[in-house]
Structure formats: C-alpha cells, structure tokens
Chain A
Amino acid sequence: MPDWLHPRSLAGRLRLASCVVLPLIIGLTALILDQAFKRSLDAAVQERLRLSTYVLMGAAEAGGGQLWMPATLQEPRFNQPGSGLIGAIHNRNGTLLWRSTSALGESPESPPLPPRAGENIFAHDRPDRFIYSYRVLWETEDGNRSEFLFSTQEVNDSYRAELSAFRLHLWGGLGLLAALLLLAQGMVLRWGLRPLTQLATDLQQIESGQRDDLPGHYPHEITPVTRNLNLLLQAERRQRERYRNTLADLAHSLKTPLAVLRNLPGGSEAEAIDEQIARMDQIISHQLGRSVTTPAHPLQQAVAILPAVRRIGQALQKVYRDKTVRFEVSGNEPGFRGDERDLMEILGNLIDNAFKYGGNHIRVSTGVLPDRIEIIVDDNGPGIAPDLHGAILQRGTRADSLSPGQGIGLSVVRDILSGYQGSLNIASQQANSLGGARFIVSLPRAGADKK
C-alpha cells in the first residue's frame, strides 16, 4: 500500500479519514436530495398534464365515429400558439383526429399507447417533452363504441431549467458546506491535538538539552504519562548522581591508601611493591572509569561538546604552560547524548595526549554526518606509525595485562565509547592537515534512526 495511506501522525490519520468520509456523506446526501426533488418535479408535471388531458376530454364531444372539439378550450395555453402545451386526439389506429391551436400546424409526436382503455401513460423519457396519454373507450348515444387516445405534450424547457437551477444550488451549497466542515474539523483537530503536539515539542527539547523535564500543563488524559516520565527522568538523574558519588568516594578511599603505600620508605622490596601498587591503581581507574558509563537513551539531555572542548583546552594550556600550544576548535555543535562526565573523560584523555605528545598546534573539530557525529583531534606532532595504530588502541583493554607506567587513557576512552555504541580510530597521517596524529571519535547520531 502506498505511504500516504499510512500517515505517521495522529492528525494525519484523522485528516485523511475526514477527507474520505466527509465528501462521501455530503455526496450521498446531495444525490438523495437531487433524486427526491426530481421525482416531485416529475409528479407535479404529470399531475398538470393529467388535468390538461381531462380538460380535453371534457371538451370533446363524440358521435357516429366523429369527434368534435370546440374552437377554444378552457385551458388558455392550448389556444395560444407556441405556449409549449399541445393537446392531441388520435383514433385507435393512431391517426391524428385533432390537435390544439398551440401546435401551430406541426404534427405532435405520436403518444405511447396504453395497453387498455381507461389507462394512461406518462412518458417522461423523451428528450425534449413530456407526454401524457389517456386511452378511452367512448360509447356514443347510438350505442357505438369508439376508442380515442387523448394526449397532452409539454415541452420540458422550464422543467430542465428549474432542475438545473436546483442542482446548481444544491451542489454549490453542499460543496461550500463540505469545505467549511473540513476547515472546521482541521481547526478542531489542531486545537484538540495541541497537547500532544506540545508534548512532542517538549520531548524534543529534552532531547536537545533545552530542558530537564516536561512542564506541568497537560490535559488530565496524558498527565499520568508525563508525570511518570518526569519521575522516571528525575529518578534516573538522581540515581546516576548517587552512583557517581559512590564511585568517587570509593576511588578516594582506595587511592589515598595506595598513595600512602607508594610513598612509604621501601626496602629491598620497594620495586615489587611499587609495581603491585601500579597494577592496583590501574585496575581501580579502569573499572571505575568504565562503570560510570550508562547506555545512552534518547531522553538523556544532550551535553554541548564544543564548550567542554574549550574548557579542557584552556585548563590544559594552564598545565602545559611551558609549551606554547595553539589550540583551535572548529565545527558545529553536534551535542553529546550522554553523561557529561563521560564526555569529559573522552575529550580530556584525547586532548591531554595531544598536549603531551603532539607538538604545538592542536585542532579539535566536530562533524555532523547523516548517521553519526565525529569529534576529531589533530595535532602537529610526530604522529603515530600505521603499524602501531592497532597496538595503541588495544593496549589496556584488560587492565591486568598492563605493565606499570602505561597510560590507560585510551582504553578508558574506548570503554566509554563502547557504552555509547561509538568507536575510536586513528587516521592515517595524510588525513591530518596539521601533519601529526589524528584521533577520530564516532558516535551514533541522536535520532538518526528516526525519519
């Protein structure tokens, strides 16, 4: 089935339905009214012609197979040439015996013959006239019986004019009515569905990060939904906050003792102890860094990426003050759908690497592609040899496989990204106009699965 038969919005469905149903009802109404009017018009004509025929019959005198008609008739239109009403009398053989003055000498159309005497036929199917014929059997004074066919014919010009005037009125009026109804219904729909449209807009604003929850003014049919959604969003936010605080406390309470241990005056075992401390440290960092990541969902507020990049850039310029680094940010704001801390971890580790190893020019750019967003960190340092790309990204995927001193920044980045169905890649040196390393973060684009 074609797409337009399956509108994707409620308003579209209602509009499509009323566009189909309303014209159907109005059309049927018009058809019924039209038929009723035509029928009553026909009946009126028939009645008129029947009376006129009676006038003829009343005026006629028959005797000895002869028929006499007076010079003028009671019905003036019979006497008036061109009046449109013609009277005629035929014998049973169909020979014309008499015709009214109004016939103007032309022979009237032969009327249909009713099957028996005493019966009549009203012919309303001729193209230009109605014919009423009455078959009579007259017994004259001499006892002879003769049959006559009295008929009246009327040109149907005025009938047709009346009918078409009526139809014009009828269809015109109903058409206008239909248009008004559709318009009114459209407005009613808009008004009636406004809370839903509002809900959709509000949800969109939550998605784009412009607000935290749904505002309160909805009709009571949908408040249960919005209220529960709000509660859910708040609970989720609180939960995340609590979780984060717990992790921070845990990190603090684990790492401070490690710091004490590490700086105890060591004897011959100092090196071994230090190595074990390094391993414990990395496992803690790795596991805690990873467990912050919660899967992204569309109602998660979008976090602005570019301001975070600038903040980190400024902070690191302070740390690497001895090294004058040119730090550039370019591109449009794609918005990161997820936890702000996760974003800071991703950006912080990549930008810190660039500051540490990457020369004196760093450029962070963002790109919005149809299906994903990209964050690209370029530097003008020595770059990374292609055969090392895999090793660098793989390093530290298992924290316990690390040897002390190896940074786990990139593996934390990869872990966080995998929670968001994203990925981290190192591009070939040629791709980078600054000539150094290029790290590319790809994240699925918010709402890319929607139309």
Chain B
Amino acid sequence: MRVLVVEDEPQLREQLGSALRARQYATDLAADGEEGLYLATENPYDLAIVDLGLPKLGGIDLIRQLRQSAIRYPVLILTARGDWQDKVEGLEAGADDYLSKPFHQEELLARVSALLRRSSGHASPQISFGPLLLDCTAKQVRLNGQPLELTAYEYATFEYLALKSGKVVSKTELTEHLYDQDFDRDSNVIEVFITRLRRKLDPDGSLKPISTERGRGYRFVLSQDDT
C-alpha cells in the first residue's frame, strides 16, 4: 500500500513518514500543497494524509482538486484547530476522515488501516479466505489459525493482492503500490516475493492461492468467506 503525506512541518512530516514506513506502507512526503497535488496526481496512491494548513495550496483546495481529477483513494485530513467548520469543509471537499493534532501515532495508523480496508470494500479488519486469515490491524496472516512468519514486504504484497482478490494485479501496479518513489524498481524482486509467499501460504501445494496470469500479472484466487 502506498501512502502520500502532505505536511508542512518538517519534523512531523518525517515522523509520519518513518511511522508509516515502519508499517510497510510505501510512503512519499510532500512539504506544501503544490508538491502534494503534483505527487498525488502523478502516482497511484492508496491513501493520502493531508494537513489542512498548508502553504501555497491549502489542504481543502488540494483535496477538492484531487477529487475533481477523479482521484478516488481515501484522504485523511489533519487539523490543528480541531474546528468543526474545518472538519466539515474538509469532509465535504472529499476527505474521508479527520484527525485533530496532536494525535497519537497509533491512532493515526489505526485510521489509515481502517480507511484502506474500507476503500477495498471490507468492513472488518479481519478477512478470511478459507484457511487463510488476513488481520489488517495486527498486520498478520494466519493459516489454519497459525500465524505465518512473513517479512514486511511479503505481508504488504499479500495484503495488496488479498484486498483485491479476484482481480488481476500487474507487476507494475504492485511495484507502484508497494514502493515509494525513491525505490529502485526491479520487477524480479516481485517475482521473488511471490515465490516465497506461495511457499509460505501453501506449504503442501494444495491451496494455490496466487495464480500467474501470463503477461498480465498475478491474481489472488481465493474468495472472501461470508461473515
């Protein structure tokens, strides 16, 4: 999952960046509204975190322009004032949730995870696909109740594919959503992750959760259990 952070205060911006990266979100940082708008329209993000009091281009205007250019991913706004008028204006402009400063990082990460889950159409943070259980809050995958030992990138790859279950996801899309813009992209890395994931998710080769669609990408074939 790839996240954009638009915040003018350098220290807070870096903090947010490192907190999100620690949770395996590919994260890009922007220091003002204009840079934010440029990045937001150039890259395929899964979520944006936007401070309302931005220089050059205000947060609300930024969100409005995003929505006008048909960019649909969820936006979380940060308000310093905590003012209802700001919150309502932000939500009306197209934001999906708000957080008042000063916030706890855990709170922010919980909101981010909830927004991502919601945008992929899943109501509960725990989604089960037959014997596999994806826990978006704990960032964990369980097979028949047993937690799997996944690296952060493996988890991120799995989560992205699982949340888009049934859909074909290209290698480019995976790269774009799993790595931030500074990452040196090499599609072989993805292939390695997929191979390792298959081994861990399906040790005895009976489940075959990820199929390779020749020339198009990968598909998570298991469908979500009705809860």
User: What residues make up the interface of A, taking CB atoms closer than 8 Å to B?
Assistant: 247-248, 251-264, 274, 277, 281, 285, 288, 311-312, 314-316, 318-319, 321-322, 340-341, 344-345, 347-349
Contacts and interface: CB of A to CB of B under 8 A. Distances in A.
Given A251-B82, A263-B105, A319-B97, A312 B88 contact: yes
B209 interface: no
A405 to B, nearest CB: 10
23 contacts: A248-B80, A248-B83, A252-B80, A252-B81, A256-B80, A259-B9, A259-B101, A260-B9, A260-B11, A260-B15, A288-B81, A312-B84, A319-B91, A319-B96, A319-B97, A319-B98, A322-B123, A340-B85, A341-B83, A344-B83, A344-B88, A345-B83, A345-B84
B84 A348 contact: yes
A258 B101 contact: yes
A134 B104 CA distance: 128
Contacts of B80: 248, 251-256
A89 B221 CA distance: 150
A348 B79 CA distance: 15
B113 to A, nearest CB: 13
A157 B88 CA distance: 95
B31 to A, nearest CB: 13
Contacts of B103: 259, 262
Nearest to B9: A256
Interface of B: 9, 11-12, 15-16, 19, 53, 78, 80-85, 87-88, 91-92, 96-98, 100-105, 114, 118, 123
A254 B100 CA distance: 12
A315 B101 contact: no
Given A259-B102, A281-B102, A315 B88 contact: yes
A347 B84 contact: yes
Contacts of B84: 312, 341, 344-345, 347-349
Contacts of A318: 91, 96-97
Contacts of A277: 102
Contacts of B9: 256-257, 259-260
Contacts of A258: 101-102
Nearest to B14: A260
Contacts of B118: 321-322
Nearest to B10: A260
B102 A262 contact: yes
B172 to A, nearest CB: 30
Given A256-B101, A263-B104, A321-B118, A311 B88 contact: yes
Given A251-B83, A319-B91, 9 more contacts: A257-B9, A260-B9, A285-B82, A316-B91, A321-B118, A340-B85, A344-B88, A348-B84, A348-B87
Q: 6 smallest A-B Cβ distances: which pairs?
A: A348-B84, A258-B102, A315-B91, A252-B80, A259-B102, A255-B101
Nearest to B97: A319
Contacts of B92: 311, 314-315
Given A259-B103, A277-B102, A344 B85 contact: yes
Contacts of A348: 84, 87-88
Contacts of A340: 85
Contacts of B96: 318-319, 321
A188 to B, nearest CB: 51
Contacts of B53: 248, 252
Given A260-B12, A262-B102, A263-B105, A315 B87 contact: yes
B85 A341 contact: yes
A267 B136 CA distance: 28
Contacts of A260: 9, 11-12, 15
Nearest to B94: A318
Nearest to B117: A322
A256 B81 contact: no
A349 B78 CA distance: 17
Given A263-B104, A344-B88, A248 B123 contact: no
A414 to B, nearest CB: 15
Most A CB atoms within 10 A — which of B15, B85, B123? Answer: B85
A248 to B, nearest CB: 5
Contacts of A311: 88, 92
Contacts of A256: 9, 12, 80, 101-102
Nearest to A261: B102
A356 to B, nearest CB: 13
A144 B9 CA distance: 145
Nearest to B19: A263
A382 to B, nearest CB: 23
A140 B97 CA distance: 138
